[in-house]
Structure 1
Amino acid sequence: MIASISPALAAPWRFAFLLAVGTLPAWAAGMAAPVSAPEPGQATLDSSSEELASLPLEQLMALQVVTSASRFQQSIAEAPSAVVVLTAQDIRDFGWRTLADALASLPGLYVTNDRNYSYLGARGFLRPGDYDSRFLLLVDGVRNNDSVYDQASIGSEGLLDMDLVERIEYVPGPGSAVYGSNALFGVINVITKAGSAMAGAQAAATAGSYGERGARFSYGWHSQDGTDWLLAASSQRRDGQDLYYAEYEQPGVHDGVARGLDDDRVKRVFAKAARGGWSLSAAYADRVKGVPTGSFGAQFNAPNYTRDAQAIAKAAYAGQLYDGVELAAMAYWGRADYLGVGSYPDAADIMRINVDGDHAMWYGLSAHLTLTRFQDHKIVAGGEVQRNARRDQFNFNLGPYEQLLEDRRKGDRSGVFLEDEWRLSPGLLLNAGLRYDSDSNVGGQFSPRVALMAQVDPADTVKLIYGTAYRVPNAYEQYYAVAGVQQASPGLSAEKISTRELIFERRLDASSMARLSLFRYRMRGLITQELEAGSGVLVFANVDHATAMGAEAAYERQFERGLRLRASLAVQHSDDGGKVQPVNSPRRLAKFNAAVPVPALRARVAAELQCVSARRTEHAYTGGHCVSNLTASSTRLLPRTEVSLALYNAFDARYADPAGPAFVQEALERQSRTLAVKLVFGF
């Protein structure tokens, strides 16, 4: 055992369990504010983030939004999934600095970090060598997964400053019936703020532990004719901490400490404009991250680093063509460049600099029609084409120069889809969809999804969902080959998943709700990175099959004086055909989030608790852990000014994530306690 859960951590586990099964809801029932139910179609997401966050839950669930679950307007309650929406107010309350921070608060999700990237796991699945390619990441509806790794960037390498995010929609479960490849475990759609939400000029400054500092400047504008635009630029830097790894300690030679090598620097630019049904947007991010872990055989305690640059742009139109016929069309472009620089000893123990990298570029068109002219039917039909113009990978040594890999690829993918939301009766809704995709790499794929949603009574809704999804092997998994390190696997086939999920949703009153999800996943051809027996080189292979089953319970409540509470408990079991627990697969996850106003301080105080049970590493186990974060923020201490103070890992818990076969370490310790102060001033 690398670590074990202590008696001190057992109490938070019991507390989180009581929250999830409903003990706390009963206790708090008397505090809830009575709020009348909304009129049909009363509320929409055109509201500001503050107005959205203040809506009672009953009204929030009735919001008519173009959800990421279906691509057409429907209420969250009627979406064919257990959709969760996080607002800009949530981001501010809890001080989330990255998309990974926000997603880690959601039921059934967990995040690991290897001191370079953040990785997202769902319902017991997060395999070594997975670059978040089993989630589809959208930014304002634009595919953000690149064309080499299919990576969804959710950490500090992410495309957006979190201050620019209006809301995050998370749709768990397979989404290939709507979006095609990559949407195995879920779809994440990040909606950015409009200029009206950040009217005028605004400046922000951040300072924190381990040399953290940052700055942002933005300007938003909205006119009476509907023209809206937003410009923003930001820069962040963190020196990082010294890190000890026992695996590298050599008495008399090295103490196993990587000093000054955990730095992180990122710059971002964002622009967005809209008028009428037309919109334009573009974003760019450039990050340089020190890598202190000696991964992939690099020399430990040497200045190894990675650089990631990514950009996206889109032009879109959405509007009504005829009565009951709406069109949404988009042209988009994206680029991602990766560079990894490290020191490696050769066979003669002479240190050489190795440069590893890729260039990815893609562009495409998508369009769909939404038809509401037929009674009791809402139909969406559309298609998209994407050209992966660059899927290039390279690797070479310096001193002297030696080319080890030069692989250039291109590819195409296209898809057509049809979905129908059929209201069988006032309380019974059927959502059925089918998509066909063609990929130049692996051929054609059909992806069906069927969901039956029944409103048993005004308070209770039941959803029964069956869906399938797939993921095409990416260029890195298939074609990356460096002698002695990793071999190519061109014969990989697509991963496929079929899921069954039963969801119970109950509105306890106008200000609280509870949800229980029971799920079973079955995967075929799961792609996993392994060390090849005998040679010791890395290789990707299709595992025969894997299954997962479990339950997620979630509860959310608002109180009359502004207290918001959210809690969840997930119990899950995954199996990849072996007799032992799969690597990096926790059996239990518990989450608790609460935010409350403190009038005496003119502030809001928020706390979150995240607990993860023990996980298996390659040869051992990491212990279970609970991490707490505390945040206080105020917009009323000074005119036009917001001040926040955040304490992350407030009780300095010592915990680690499984490392995977590319590391000497069995597990990598996560960040210790840190403090951050933020000041936002509006001109």
Structure 2
Amino acid sequence: MAWPKLRALAAGLLPALALLPAQAQQTAQDPPSLEELLRQAPSEVTRDIEESTSSRFARSAAQAPSVTYVVTDVEIARQGLRNMADILRTMPGLYVADDGEFFYVGARGLGRPGDFNARLLFLVDGMRVNENIYDAGLLGPEFFVDVDLIDRVEYAPGPGSALYGNNAFFGVVNIITKGVDKLHGLQLRVNTDSQHRHEARVSVGHRAEQGWESWLALSAYQQDAIGMPFMVQPDLQQAFNQFSWERGQRALGMFKFGDWTLRSGVSQREHAIPEYKGPDSPVAVMQDRRISDNHFAVLEYQHQLGQDWQLYAAISAKHTDYRSLYPFIDPEQRWNEYSSRALGSWWNADLRLSTQRWRDHNLMAGFEYQYDRKQSITYGLSDGTLFDYFYGVNRRHGLFVQDAWTLSESQQLTLGLRYDEARAGGASTNPRLAWTWNGRPDATLKLMYGSAFRAANLYEYHVNAPMEAPIPTPERIRTLELAWEQRLTPQLQYRASLYGSRMRDLISINHELDVFENSGAIHNVGAELGLERRWAGGQQLQLGVSLQRTTDTAGASLDNSPHVMVKTSYSQPLAGERLRWSWQLQSESRTSSRGLQLPGYALLNTTLLWRPADFELALSAYNLTDVRYFARPLGLGVPLLQEGRTVRLSISRRFGL
């Protein structure tokens, strides 16, 4: 269980924390360290932040062939972002809902009920991590990367299949982990909040004189008496509290030597959920359980072939195991348990060759292969008795080529084409074109066109097969986008983008027939506007507005599709970079869900961050005004109450080695 591990980590951390006040006094008058200097907010806005997601090699975001949004580790700490869901909530055009078990992400006005984030491709250090049963992007506690280990998150919205193939339908999210330069020595952290959630993490990193470097991070968490997202009868409240808890642990590590890098991660989660059995049951409330077990290992090789050629190769193995257990009492008054299990095992190979041999061209060609060695969904009893068994074996490969062509000092043209073929899902060809103009040192204009696809996954096959319903064909999207970014003064810049998309054959659930089917054409138009202002004193303001409208063939708006989102963040130093106050305001217009209207809302989050030397203390409040707002991510049942006011205290300490 996670709780003994959590207590052990906390017990080891407390003696170190006892020394912190003295340490803080000793360093109060010391000059800022190099790390503190790196934390300081620049007084001028920058257009040269590096990103690598949009073209698979590092380049300035201003020259990238896509609008790319980046959240750095500095912003994660200042804003008190707790997990991937919090990070994605800060991104323009993205919105997140929680049903108590899973975080669902909508993008640019489209969040189909019951979609497990299969239309966004999630990467960790460039490695695909969507699993192979639901194509799900797992963003909750089962996600491999603790938020403290994230160096930055890059989100490239719009079709990405010309580079990444399946699932890059609405965009690509790349989570890039920290290196040994930021994880050196021993680091300890504990978190606790008003929702009875307790977390602990320990990491150690080292760079050797022999040329190798490595880090390892372990974390554990526990939460008890989790509040229900719906009303509970007073006489059942105690039983619900007893049967509502969650615990888990994660491990993530990296070892690098020369051109070789080995990464591996494990995550385990157990979630208990109370279920009301009714007045006629011998036991009114019983405890369901959800158990998730995921792990991966990847070996990468990067080598410079002469002066102008670069080779990248990687092979990875991944595994996911998700079980749902539902206890019941049979007619003979015996206790038993239904079991549902989704089991997946697969490996990926990735090979890329790039060159700058020809003047004004950065050419890249790549090959990707995925072998779904194990795909199964089973139903039965926990003693091994099977009622239903559904399995799949799939192979898919993709070939792509990309040319980043410098037409002149002020113009770049990116051309790309990818061909994908799968044993289950058929073939797809997807082009991309992006023209970038930097004719002014303070402005950038981008014109982008691309397409993407998503094939039906094993879960969608499994739902349709018993009903003898046809398997949906791959869904497709085409998008045209125009973006402009300009720095008006050294401290002020704005951005604006307009886009239009046409989707066809979107795979959606038919609730009347309980099968998946292809829908008619869907049109999506929108605009994303942003403003950034900095001051010489270190203050920073960011404002983002997303306007979007998604309609079906009849011109009706889709469910779970807000028309307006506004996201504002502000950060203010109170005592240099050692003490900083930040706040966020996030609002979303009303949405509809199968005839129900869910009101819009505005949430205020705030964080006070104190960082004297190697110590860090953060006090955060989420949904400070305790706004009651609801979501219905599955499109079924009652609307679910989302997170109320939560206060969180986080303490960390670092020791050099």
TM-score (norm 2): 0.89
Amino acid aligned to 2:624? A
Please give the residue correspondences for 1:406-425 in structure 2 after superposition, counting only pairs within 5 Å: 406-425=389-408
| Correspondent of 2:256 among 265, 269, 274 | 274
Q: Which residue in the other structure is 1:523 paired with?
A: 503
Q: Which residue in the other structure is 2:268 paired with?
A: 286
Q: Which residue in the other structure is 2:651 paired with?
A: 679
Q: Which residue in the other structure is 1:18 paired with?
A: none
**Per-residue CA distance 1:478-536 (angstroms, 9 max, x = gap):** 124798xxx57551111100001110111223343211010111111111123225xxx
Contact 1:62 1:75 survives alignment (8 Å): yes
Residues 489 and 239 (structure 1 numbering): CA distance in 2 closer, same or farther, change over 3 Å?
A: farther
Separation in structure 2 between the aligned mates of residue 512 and residue 219 of structure 1, nearest angstrom = 39
Contact 1:307 1:340 survives alignment (8 Å): yes
**Alpha-carbon deviation of 1:265?**
1.6
| Correspondent of 1:194 among 155, 179, 183 | 179
The more displaced of 284-293 and 196-205 is 284-293
Contact 1:418 1:433 survives alignment (8 Å): yes
Separation in structure 2 between the aligned mates of residue 293 and residue 148 of structure 1, nearest angstrom = 26
| Correspondent of 2:375 among 371, 382, 391 | 391
Q: Which residue in the other structure is 2:296 paired with?
A: 312
Separation in structure 2 between the aligned mates of residue 277 and residue 557 of structure 1, nearest angstrom = 41
Q: Which residue in the other structure is 1:499 paired with?
A: 479
Residues 179 and 564 (structure 1 numbering): CA distance in 2 closer, same or farther, change over 3 Å?
A: same
Q: Which residue in the other structure is 2:452 paired with?
A: 469
**Per-residue CA distance 1:608-657 (angstroms, 9 max, x = gap):** 11101001012211100011111111111xx5211111111111010011
| Correspondent of 2:637 among 664, 672, 681 | 664
Q: Which residue in the other structure is 2:53 paired with?
A: 68
1:150 has 2:132 as partner: no
Tell me the secondary structure at the aligned position of residue 506 of structure 2: strand
Residues 77 and 500 (structure 1 numbering): CA distance in 2 closer, same or farther, change over 3 Å?
A: same
Separation in structure 1 between the aligned mates of residue 329 and residue 274 of structure 2, nearest angstrom = 16
Residues 439 and 50 (structure 1 numbering): CA distance in 2 closer, same or farther, change over 3 Å?
A: farther
Residues 64 and 567 (structure 1 numbering): CA distance in 2 closer, same or farther, change over 3 Å?
A: closer
Q: Which residue in the other structure is 1:178 paired with?
A: 163
Q: Which residue in the other structure is 1:28 paired with?
A: none
Tell me the secondary structure at the aligned position of residue 259 of structure 1: helix
1:330 has 2:314 as partner: yes
Contact 1:478 1:488 survives alignment (8 Å): no
Amino acid aligned to 1:621? Q
**Alpha-carbon deviation of 1:229?**
0.8
Separation in structure 2 between the aligned mates of residue 539 and residue 258 of structure 1, nearest angstrom = 33
**Per-residue CA distance 1:94-153 (angstroms, 9 max, x = gap):** 111111100101111100111110011111111111000001000011100011111111
Separation in structure 1 between the aligned mates of residue 77 and residue 53 of structure 2, nearest angstrom = 23
Q: Which residue in the other structure is 2:520 paired with?
A: 544
Q: Which residue in the other structure is 1:44 paired with?
A: none
Tell me the secondary structure at the aligned position of residue 139 of structure 2: coil
| Correspondent of 1:569 among 545, 551, 562 | 545
Tell me the secondary structure at the aligned position of residue 395 of structure 1: strand
Separation in structure 2 between the aligned mates of residue 522 and residue 256 of structure 1, nearest angstrom = 50
**Per-residue CA distance 1:559-583 (angstroms, 9 max, x = gap):** 2222222110011100123454311
| Correspondent of 1:99 among 84, 97, 100 | 84
Q: Which residue in the other structure is 2:424 paired with?
A: 441
Separation in structure 1 between the aligned mates of residue 244 and residue 221 of structure 2, nearest angstrom = 14
Amino acid aligned to 2:462? Y
Residues 631 and 240 (structure 1 numbering): CA distance in 2 closer, same or farther, change over 3 Å?
A: farther
Separation in structure 2 between the aligned mates of residue 48 and residue 140 of structure 1, nearest angstrom = 23
Q: Which residue in the other structure is 1:117 paired with?
A: 102
Tell me the secondary structure at the aligned position of residue 82 of structure 1: coil
Q: Which residue in the other structure is 2:585 paired with?
A: 609
Separation in structure 1 between the aligned mates of residue 40 and residue 503 of structure 2, nearest angstrom = 37
**Per-residue CA distance 1:222-271 (angstroms, 9 max, x = gap):** 2345422111100011124333635x86x9x9789943444222200011
Please give the residue correspondences for 1:426-437 in structure 2 after superposition, counting only pairs within 5 Å: 426-437=409-420
Contact 1:208 1:677 survives alignment (8 Å): yes
Amino acid aligned to 2:122? L
**Alpha-carbon deviation of 1:588?**
0.5
Separation in structure 2 between the aligned mates of residue 184 and residue 655 of structure 1, nearest angstrom = 28
What 5-or-longer segments of structure 2 have no aligned partner? Answer: 1-33
**Alpha-carbon deviation of 1:49?**
10
Residues 344 and 620 (structure 1 numbering): CA distance in 2 closer, same or farther, change over 3 Å?
A: farther
Tell me the secondary structure at the aligned position of residue 109 of structure 2: coil
Contact 2:45 2:534 survives alignment (8 Å): no
Q: Which residue in the other structure is 2:227 paired with?
A: 242
Amino acid aligned to 1:671? E
Tell me the secondary structure at the aligned position of residue 646 of structure 1: strand
Separation in structure 2 between the aligned mates of residue 49 and residue 360 of structure 1, nearest angstrom = 44
Separation in structure 2 between the aligned mates of residue 610 and residue 424 of structure 1, nearest angstrom = 41
Separation in structure 2 between the aligned mates of residue 601 and residue 300 of structure 1, nearest angstrom = 54
1:165 has 2:150 as partner: yes
Amino acid aligned to 2:590? A
Separation in structure 1 between the aligned mates of residue 227 and residue 353 of structure 2, nearest angstrom = 55
Separation in structure 1 between the aligned mates of residue 354 and residue 421 of structure 2, nearest angstrom = 23
Amino acid aligned to 2:448? I
Separation in structure 1 between the aligned mates of residue 117 and residue 598 of structure 2, nearest angstrom = 21
1:513 has 2:522 as partner: no
Tell me the secondary structure at the aligned position of residue 295 of structure 2: strand
Residues 209 and 482 (structure 1 numbering): CA distance in 2 closer, same or farther, change over 3 Å?
A: farther
**Alpha-carbon deviation of 1:344?**
6.2
Contact 1:479 1:488 survives alignment (8 Å): no
**Per-residue CA distance 1:391-416 (angstroms, 9 max, x = gap):** 111111358x7523211211111011
Q: Which residue in the other structure is 2:562 paired with?
A: 586
Tell me the secondary structure at the aligned position of residue 87 of structure 2: helix
Amino acid aligned to 1:573? R
Amino acid aligned to 1:494? P
Separation in structure 2 between the aligned mates of residue 48 and residue 527 of structure 1, nearest angstrom = 48
Separation in structure 2 between the aligned mates of residue 672 and residue 477 of structure 1, nearest angstrom = 34
TM-score (norm 1): 0.85
Residues 350 and 508 (structure 1 numbering): CA distance in 2 closer, same or farther, change over 3 Å?
A: farther
> What is the RMSD of the two structures over their aligned residues, measured on CA atoms?
2.7
**Alpha-carbon deviation of 1:82?**
1.0
Separation in structure 2 between the aligned mates of residue 367 and residue 244 of structure 1, nearest angstrom = 46
Separation in structure 2 between the aligned mates of residue 285 and residue 664 of structure 1, nearest angstrom = 30
Contact 1:115 1:292 survives alignment (8 Å): no
Residues 389 and 505 (structure 1 numbering): CA distance in 2 closer, same or farther, change over 3 Å?
A: same
Amino acid aligned to 2:575? P
Separation in structure 2 between the aligned mates of residue 50 and residue 532 of structure 1, nearest angstrom = 60
Tell me the secondary structure at the aligned position of residue 465 of structure 1: strand
| Correspondent of 1:597 among 562, 573, 596 | 573
Q: Which residue in the other structure is 2:605 paired with?
A: 629
Amino acid aligned to 2:67? A
Amino acid aligned to 1:649? N
Please give the residue correspondences for 1:252-263 in structure 2 after superposition, counting only pairs within 5 Å: 258-263=240-245
Separation in structure 1 between the aligned mates of residue 133 and residue 561 of structure 2, nearest angstrom = 26
Amino acid aligned to 1:631? T
**Alpha-carbon deviation of 1:194?**
1.1
Q: Which residue in the other structure is 1:342 paired with?
A: 326
Residues 655 and 260 (structure 1 numbering): CA distance in 2 closer, same or farther, change over 3 Å?
A: farther
What is the percentage of aligned positions where both structures have the same residue? 30
Q: How many residues align?
A: 618
Contact 2:464 2:470 survives alignment (8 Å): no
Separation in structure 1 between the aligned mates of residue 490 and residue 406 of structure 2, nearest angstrom = 25
